[in-house]
């Protein structure tokens, strides 16, 4: 990255995708000045560096294949369910983890090969299972015995399945995004797993291919991934092991998650001693695939001083980024035309809750109404959970690359908000 900035300014600029540069004092990503992108597409807008996204996808696919040739990378599409990104991931040779019928339809609309899709969910409906069977989804991951009952009934032809194991692994992350602990709502307990295996052994259409495990999200050490492998390895030899996702992203300078390569080294290193040599390994990265390729642009609406704090209020907030209020996720921010530095402000949104705060304390350089502000590392789970709080319009998604900016999802309109009303 080329930054004409002081070292303290390099801090926040370094959280943007590798193509980011400060040129003539203006922050650019993918060769596009972010203030121009804001002017053209409005705010809030989710901006994605297409080259960074493709590079990360290839880094995962090539890195895993080098270490474990019988492998597949299955992007956890819940992290950023956008048709254009399903298409991009398919073009880069990835499959997708789809949790539910909506993600399945978007993956199909994005021309993904159904054989490369993995269906997840702890409460899949009959309609979702029927659709997945009909389109030929590659793997259905069975979460519980009730689901297995229904799948046994619905399957009319050969279908490969995995069993999701509750490994009893505590990952150090926010409790809402930990999934592998004993008593988790996800997966089969050891007793139910034994019964599922017995039943699948005798089923005419369903073929047990292997096991699935996922211990949580925003995990910043490799130990829980290795612990999950250690938990499932003694359960028997299978052709396929899907080790889920979970690797953390670097949201602020304080975060030091393992690199993709360190993560893959840890997984495949442990697998070499724990799994059958010929087994196929799947991984399902979501957050670490997409988070760092994006930023969200806002416009400053107001600046005010209260008794002890100064506030900058922007034209978005918890309607486009629930990560803060749900999980306490910490973000950084900068004005795009005065990068880094300045006095400390609380960065707040426009929604009717005091909890609608994007950052409790961030340095901003003389913010004023009309300034464009960027929050980096918003690629994962922000658009996913975007909502219409206070009638907010869900933001557009804009790809930037080589100086070109193009919308792949348009902004919602007020007409969209009214579109589902049933006339009296
Ligand atoms: C089954 C499964 N796989 C993969 C993921 C992706 O996790 P992450 O986005 O943390 O990589 C999730 C998300 O929680 C998940 O539930």
Residues with Cβ within 8 Å of 408's Cβ and at least 6 positions away in sequence, in order, are: 82, 83, 84, 85, 397, 398, 399
**For residue 184, pLDDT beyond 90:** no
- For ligand 1, pick from 284, 285, 292 the residue to mutate: most ligand atoms within 8 Å of CB: 284
- The answer to whether 344 and 310 have CB atoms below 8 angstroms apart is yes
What's the CA-to-centroid distance between 284 and ligand 1, angstroms? 6
**For residue 3, pLDDT beyond 50:** no
Residue-by-residue DSSP string for 30-56 = TTEEHHHHHHHH-SSEEEEEHHHHHHH
Predicted confidence at residue 9, as pLDDT, reads: 35
DSSP helix/strand/coil, 327: helix
CA pair distance 26, 190, nearest whole angstrom? 56
CA pair distance 237, 3, nearest whole angstrom? 52
Residue keyed to tokens 């008794």: 307
Instruction: pLDDT band for 168, please (50, 70, 90 cuts).
Output: confident
Predicted confidence at residue 2, as pLDDT, reads: 38
DSSP helix/strand/coil, 361: strand
Tens of pLDDT, residue by residue over 54-105, are 999 999 999 999 999 999 999 999 999 999 999 999 999 999 999 999 999 9
Q: Burial letters for 164-197: b for 16+ Cβ neighbours within 10 Å, e otherwise?
A: bbbbbbebebeeebbbbbeebebbbbeebbeebe
- For ligand 1, pick from 57, 73, 74, 76 the residue to mutate: most ligand atoms within 8 Å of CB: 76
Q: Which of 20, 19, 45, 53 is nearest to 339 (CA)?
A: 20
Tens of pLDDT, residue by residue over 233-264, are 999 999 999 999 999 999 999 999 999 999 99
**For residue 134, pLDDT beyond 60:** yes
**For residue 224, pLDDT beyond 70:** yes
Within the chain, how many helices (H) and strands (E) appear?
13, 21
The residues with which 281 forms a beta bridge, in sequence order, are: 71, 241
Tens of pLDDT, residue by residue over 187-209, are 999 899 999 999 999 899 999 99
Residues with Cβ within 8 Å of 330's Cβ and at least 6 positions away in sequence, in order, are: 251, 252, 254, 324, 359
- Please state the atom number of ligand 1 nearest to the C-alpha of residue 287: 9
For this structure, is 352 an active site residue? yes
Q: All domains of the chain, ordered by start, with CATH?
A: 2-49+291-418 (2.40.37.10), 68-285 (3.20.20.10)
Instruction: pLDDT band for 170, please (50, 70, 90 cuts).
Output: confident
Please write down the long-range contacts of 190-193, taking CB distance under 8 Å and 24 or more positions apart: 192/144, 192/145, 193/163, 193/165, 193/235
CA pair distance 16, 292, nearest whole angstrom? 7
Look over the chain and give the mean of its residue pLDDT values, rounded to a whole number.
Answer: 94
Strands 26-29 and 32-33: antiparallel
The answer to whether the CB of 77 is under 6 A from ligand 1 is no
- The answer to whether 364 and 342 have CB atoms below 8 angstroms apart is yes
The answer to whether the CB of 164 is under 6 A from ligand 1 is no
Predicted confidence at residue 179, as pLDDT, reads: 72
Tens of pLDDT, residue by residue over 287-299, are 999 999 999 999 9
Tens of pLDDT, residue by residue over 24-56, are 999 999 999 999 999 999 999 999 999 999 999
Q: Burial letters for 254-278: b for 16+ Cβ neighbours within 10 Å, e otherwise?
A: eeebbebeebbebbbebbeebbeee
Predicted confidence at residue 335, as pLDDT, reads: 98
Task: Examine residue 44 and say whether the peptide bond preceding it is cis (omega within 30 degrees of 0).
Answer: yes
Phi, psi (5° rounding) for residue 168?
A: 75, 35
The answer to whether the CB of 244 is under 6 A from ligand 1 is yes
| pTM of structure | 0.95
**For residue 10, pLDDT beyond 70:** no
Predicted confidence at residue 194, as pLDDT, reads: 95
Cα dihedral 349, 351, 353, 354, rounded to 10, equals 20
pLDDT > 90: percent of the chain: 91
Instruction: Kindly report the length of the chain.
Output: 424
Tens of pLDDT, residue by residue over 311-356, are 999 999 999 999 999 999 999 999 999 999 999 999 999 999 999 9
CA-CA distances (angstroms) from residue 195 to 181, 189, 255? Answer: 20, 10, 42
The answer to whether the CB of 287 is under 6 A from ligand 1 is yes
């Amino acid at each position: 990255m080329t930054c004409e900035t002081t070292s303290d300014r390099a801090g926040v600029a370094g959280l943007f995708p590798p193509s980011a540069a400060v040129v003539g004092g203006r922050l650019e990503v993918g060769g596009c000045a972010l203030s121009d992108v804001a002017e053209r597409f409005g705010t809030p807008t989710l901006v994605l560096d297409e080259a960074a996204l493709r590079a990360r996808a290839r880094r995962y696919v090539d890195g895993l294949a080098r270490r474990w040739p019988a492998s597949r990378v299955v992007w956890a599409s819940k992290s950023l369910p956008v048709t254009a990104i399903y298409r991009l991931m398919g073009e880069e040779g990835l499959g997708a983890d789809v949790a539910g019928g909506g993600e399945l339809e978007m993956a199909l609309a994005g021309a993904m090969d159904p054989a490369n899709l993995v269906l997840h969910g702890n409460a899949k409906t009959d309609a979702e299972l029927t659709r997945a069977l009909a389109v030929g989804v590659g793997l259905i991951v069975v979460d519980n015995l009730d689901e297995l009952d229904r799948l046994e009934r619905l399957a009319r032809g050969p279908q490969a399945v995995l069993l999701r194991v509750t490994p009893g692994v505590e990952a150090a992350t926010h409790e809402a995004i930990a999934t592998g602990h004993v008593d988790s709502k996800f997966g089969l307990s050891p007793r139910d797993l034994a019964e599922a295996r017995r039943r699948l052994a005798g089923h005419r259409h369903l073929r047990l291919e292997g096991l699935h495990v996922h211990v949580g999200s925003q995990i910043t050490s490799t130990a829980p991934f290795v612990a999950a492998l250690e938990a499932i390895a003694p359960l028997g030899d299978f052709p396929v092991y899907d080790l889920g996702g979970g690797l953390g992203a670097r949201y602020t300078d304080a975060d030091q998650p393992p690199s993709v390569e360190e993560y893959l080294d840890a997984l495949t290193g442990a697998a070499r001693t724990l799994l059958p040599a010929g087994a196929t390994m799947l991984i399902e990265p979501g957050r670490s695939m997409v988070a760092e390729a994006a930023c969200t642009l806002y416009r400053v609406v107001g600046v005010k001083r209260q008794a002890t704090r100064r506030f900058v209020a922007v034209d978005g907030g918890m309607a486009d980024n629930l990560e803060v209020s749900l999980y306490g996720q910490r973000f950084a921010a900068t004005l795009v035309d005065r990068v880094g530095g300045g006095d400390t402000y609380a960065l707040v949104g426009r929604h009717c809750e005091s909890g609608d705060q994007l950052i409790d304390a961030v340095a901003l350089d003389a913010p004023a109404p009309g300034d464009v502000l960027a929050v980096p590392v918003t690629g994962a789970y922000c658009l996913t959970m975007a909502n219409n709080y206070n009638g907010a319009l869900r933001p557009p998604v804009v790809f930037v690359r080589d100086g070109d900016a193009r919308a792949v999802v348009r902004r919602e309109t007020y007409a969209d908000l009214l579109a589902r009303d049933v006339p009296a």
